[in-house]
Chain A
């Protein structure tokens, strides 16, 4: 779930971690009442500051994706279907934004990227 967490990215690590968990909840990889790894275990596994994991969990709790139960751990909440769809759409949007930025840096315009995208997924572009 956390492969490719990138400390060099301008996106803060806690946001990257929270985004992965949100996506896992949205796609059903994490089910309601599933326990998230403890702060200590996850910090250790990702080799990040425990405060970073706490921050990620807190943000998820504020969004209603998880519940932090004192002394027991952090558990996935029931998230309404529309909210999960929104989350998936938001993540897709972010990926595309990054693609467009990366493309612009090497001089590719949106049209060229769109064509490449359609070639890659095998869908005809309608004009």
Chain B
């Protein structure tokens, strides 16, 4: 089993408003996989597919090598899940919530649950109904980690949390990964947060996967290139042009955003009589924005 999560051509339709279209995802074992996409792109729906909470219209889903939803109980014993919306009993205290959850999991580590309570500065006497958003987020993570999962699924785990709590949450996740080599699937629209920790990136837009690749290839492959003297119809290019915009009133230098760039491709520009004025690296956020812009039908891309 080399992938912790596998979705193969998964389709699902909810009325006319939204559908997942042939979603194929491979989350390698031991990776920290960042699942990016704008709000409403279908990230949470995709997660529900492999958490067995929704059944696809077609396609195949496997988690930890087992079929979803047929083998869901055995899968759940090894998966820690932090959902987008909390599912806690408001009348229980933090301590009671921890004890309640512990009863469902064979691999529950109570010592670690207590250590995390202290480290995340949670008060075990506090009632869930009186907790802040940040405290709720930390408690959900504590519950997911204390079951010592082989796979940790985090749906927007830091959305709406303040920077201090965000840091606590991510540090706890990284600590766990360092000692357990668990796989982490983390969905977020906060791109810069993932840039630091993820080694794989999947990008979802409008119910479709628009990219899935190692973080380093994602970052290295998308470049902004300043070009002068390029013809309007550049013919076959060795890379994919995501976007091409003309120079402004001050300069005739065009900006191309390309995918799959490698340095020897500079020769291509010589071949079409153009000059490369500069090749600029994009960070994850810029690459993400360009990728989405090009995947949408109404883009202004001419290439």
Contact = CB atoms under 8 A, between A and B. Distances in A.
Given A47-B167, A49-B198, A51-B30, A40 B179 contact: yes
Contacts of A51: 30, 32, 199
Contacts of A73: none
A44 B176 CA distance: 10
Given A10-B219, A105-B278, A47 B283 contact: no
B197 A49 contact: yes
Contacts of A8: 192, 195, 283-285
Contact of B178 (A7, A9, A40, A104): A40
B195 A44 contact: no
Interface string B103-138: 000000000000000000000000000000000000
B265 to A, nearest CB: 16
B216 interface: yes
B170 interface: yes
A26 interface: no
Interface string B182-222: 00000000001001111100000000000000001001100
Q: Is the interface of B mostly helix, strand, loop or mixed?
A: helix
Nearest to A105: B278
A52 B32 CA distance: 11
B262 interface: no
B196 A7 contact: yes
A10 B24 CA distance: 28
A105 B281 CA distance: 12
Interface string B29-71: 0101000000000000000000000000000000000000000
Contacts of A12: 216
Contacts of A40: 175, 178-179
B196 A10 contact: no
Interface string A98-119: 0000001100000000000000
Given A7-B195, A10-B219, A10-B220, A49 B174 contact: yes
B177 interface: yes
Contacts of B219: 10
Contacts of A7: 192, 195-196
Given A8-B192, A105-B278, A49 B175 contact: no
Interface of B: 30, 32, 167, 170-171, 174-175, 177-179, 192, 195-199, 216, 219-220, 278, 280-281, 283-285
Given A44-B175, A49-B174, 15 more contacts: A7-B192, A8-B284, A9-B283, A10-B220, A10-B283, A13-B196, A43-B178, A47-B167, A47-B170, A47-B171, A48-B196, A49-B177, A49-B199, A50-B174, A105-B280
